Amino acid sequence: MSNIKIVTDSAVALTPEEIEKYDIKIVPLSVQIDGTVYEDGVTIQRDEFLEKMIESNSLPQTSQPSIGTFQAVYDEIHQQFPDSEILSLHLSSGLSGTVRAAEQAAALTNAKITTFDTLAADRAQAFVVLQAAEMALQGSTMSEILPAITQARDESHIFLSFTSLNNMVAGGRLSKTQGIIGNLLNIKVGAGVTKNDGTVEVLLKGRGMKTIAKFNDNVIAKMKEYKEVLAIGISHAGIPEEAAQIAARLNAIWPDIDIPVLNTTPIISTHTGVGALAILYRAR
């Protein structure tokens, strides 16, 4: 049995099989929709969130787990496995204060805890978590795992495209005028998560779906430049058919890689709106 227990948060994109295999504890973020607060992945699932977001009167709000929630999780693990260490890996600090809440909670418990900022979300966050979980299962020490997950973080990339600017306006990331003009002109956006601070950066803007196609072509061309692609994930906000098509295209190039197609986390879809698609990969 591993002496290191893995904790992460619900911004991650893991399959049920992965969660069970590695006994990963997931701490839920909160989502508020029209005054009702839900726990991500507990009292509301991702497909249900998209439905409620479309119907909501205002943009949903996501919030990090409380310090008390993290402390309770850590204390529970410590009581059950008093001789174990905890490695707590979380959503990018550039997108949320989740990892900071984890750090503060770690100081309030008797458990031996190491926190780690993945500088990512969704499946790219999962690449880092799975690296840690696999090594923990094999009996690696914390000092062995930390350099490996730092490398996994450096090797992980997120590129996403979205087709509507409405949520960007509602979230204050674009002015209303910019949003109206953008929608009238049928502006589409391609973006990436930066490696230095884990924030979202717009990389391409243009009119019509050809912009999205060009963006995805560019991402795939970049992937081909690496010596080795280790993992790929496709995440989406309400467009499963388009996501499956991209996954099939990538599988034709990398047939030995299992590519999960998953609904994206509410913290991403809240800002991008329905119609977003992300290509996430780990390569060296």
For the chain, the domains span 4-154, 155-283
Which carries the bigger pLDDT value, residue 140 or residue 177?
Answer: 140
C-alpha span between 244 and 6 (Å, rounded): 30
Mean pLDDT for the chain?
A: 89
What is 155-283's CATH number, 3.90.550.10, 3.40.50.150, 3.30.1180.10, 3.30.1310.10? 3.30.1180.10
Element spanning 140, H or E = none
Tell me if the pTM is above 0.85. yes
Q: What is the pLDDT of residues 253-264, one digit of tens each?
A: 999 999 999 998
pLDDT at 206: 77
Looking at the predicted structure, is the pLDDT value of residue 177 above 50? no
What architecture is the 4-154 domain classified under in CATH? 3-Layer(aba) Sandwich (3.40)
Buried-exposed string 114-123: b where 16+ CB fall within 10 A, e elsewhere:
ebbbbbbbbb
Confidence of residue 59 (pLDDT cuts 50, 70, 90): confident
The pLDDT of residue 176:
45
Grade residue 141 by pLDDT with cuts at 50, 70 and 90: very high
Position with higher pLDDT, 240 vs 270: 240
Band of residue 165 on the pLDDT scale cut at 50, 70, 90: low
- Predicted pLDDT at 1: 55
Percent of the chain scoring above 70 in pLDDT: 91
The pLDDT tens digits for 74-130 are 999 999 999 999 999 999 998 899 999 999 999 999 999 999 999 999 999 999 999
pLDDT category of residue 167 using cuts at 50, 70 and 90: low
Contact 40, 17 (CB under 8 A): no
Average pLDDT of span 15-39: 95
Distances (CA, A) of 137 to 3, 5, 102, 231, 278: 8, 9, 23, 19, 29
